[in-house]
Structure 1
């Protein structure tokens, strides 16, 4: 384009020189006057020539830029796009694999959830059955305890008799000495079915307990009542104690009142255990039945608050006792 402009300028300079020559010649001067071009027309022609050259140059430049851009794309972007396409394919494969595994995991979780539901249902059923069986077992245990207590209802336990004191015939020994130990039995024929000492695997210096079974339940009651009236009962310098014979479970329940009974005795309050394990207390001119050691402890707390107990604590105790009384924990005998 610059060459074209230079050529145009050279042509213009030649025209000027030629114009000067024409001006020197009359003929040429006359021709000049008939063929003269104004400056504005010349400038327009130059501008048009420049535009044409620039258009040609722009077309060539566009072709060059297009070719360069295409070459750059082919050299740089195409390999990268191919690499991205390959990575994308791998990513798609990985996503597909993960999706498949996720679906398998979902199915596995659903199966596990189903099994868990079945297991929970079975556990609830087993728990209900276990509760029912436990209830039946407790009922059967209570019946067995009752049967055992009834079977022992005519038995008496004799504690404190020295070993071998009874000789070879324990029944004859008891018949000969019961009326001596318990004066209220004098003249009463006591019928004893069998008598023996309880086996104990423990090495102890205490004499083993003697258990004897009476044929008549009234004789058993007479022995226990007479022993309480004649207390303390002595034989050869040893103190003898007479107790009812109960099952292991009933004995355990009755022993649970031992500490409370000692506290009541220290306070001068008379207490007595009723069958199977109910504490009978005479206090304030009324008789009270306490079904458990906890009830007995609350009763003690109500009649003798601990030293240093604040008025607020005593009020709380009284409120508790009021609640317990409303729930018939204290059951006065009618």
Structure 2
């Protein structure tokens, strides 16, 4: 049960063959060739459309990839900038730590060493003992002038 191709599909007028002779209900090699050519053109058009769509998708992926690569480069540059800034700040902090330690050392140069404080005086009582000692040594010195930042025992 074969279907007869339409006249539009084969490019012939109804009832003609390639030589112009009428053929009733028969499929000739020319008709088959015309059908194959028509089908081939349809397939080629479909393939070209598919290939064109794939090219567009590949281009879109390439564009997105390029955009992402640019973002990664931007973030890497920002990361490097921040890393450099962090290193500069760490060096700055280290410099300030050294200066602070130097100032603390200079401040301690005005310390007094008291010898002969009995071991029986507890560490918590050292400040009261020293205040009492200075008030006995300098009775005219007002208590407000006597400032002690800290007091501690030194190892022997």
Q: TM-score, normalised by structure 2?
A: 0.54
Match for 1:112 among 54, 75, 85? 75
Report SS of the residue matched to 2:61.
helix
Aligned equivalent of 2:112: 152
Q: How many residues align?
A: 113
Q: Which has the higher strand share?
A: 1
Alignment of 1:79 onto 2:42: yes
**What residue in structure 2 maps to residue 93 of structure 1?**
56
Aligned mate of 2:89, from 126, 136, 153: 126
**Per-residue CA shift, 1:236-268, capped at 9, x if unaligned?**
xxxxxxxxxx855x84xx4xxxxxxxxxxxxxx
Aligned to 1:221: none
What secondary structure, in the 3-state scheme, does the structure 2 residue paired with 1:157 have? Answer: coil
Q: What is the Cα deviation at residue 136 of structure 1?
A: 1.2
Q: 1:134 to 1:71 in 2, by over 3 A?
A: same
Structure 1: segments with no counterpart, 5+ residues: 1-63, 162-196, 201-207, 216-245, 255-272, 274-334
CA gap 1:102/1:158 in 2 versus in 1, 3 angstroms: same
- After superposition, give the CA deviation of every residue in 1:148-173 in whole Å (9 maximum; x if it has no partner): xx433136533336xxxxxxxxxxxx
Deviation at 1:80, TM superposition (A): 2.9
* DSSP 3-state at the match of 1:158: coil
1:119: how far off? 0.9
Q: Report which of the two structures shows the higher radius of gyration computed on alpha carbons.
A: 1
Q: Tell me, in whole angstroms, the C-alpha distance in 1 between the residues paired with 2:33 and 2:60.
A: 40
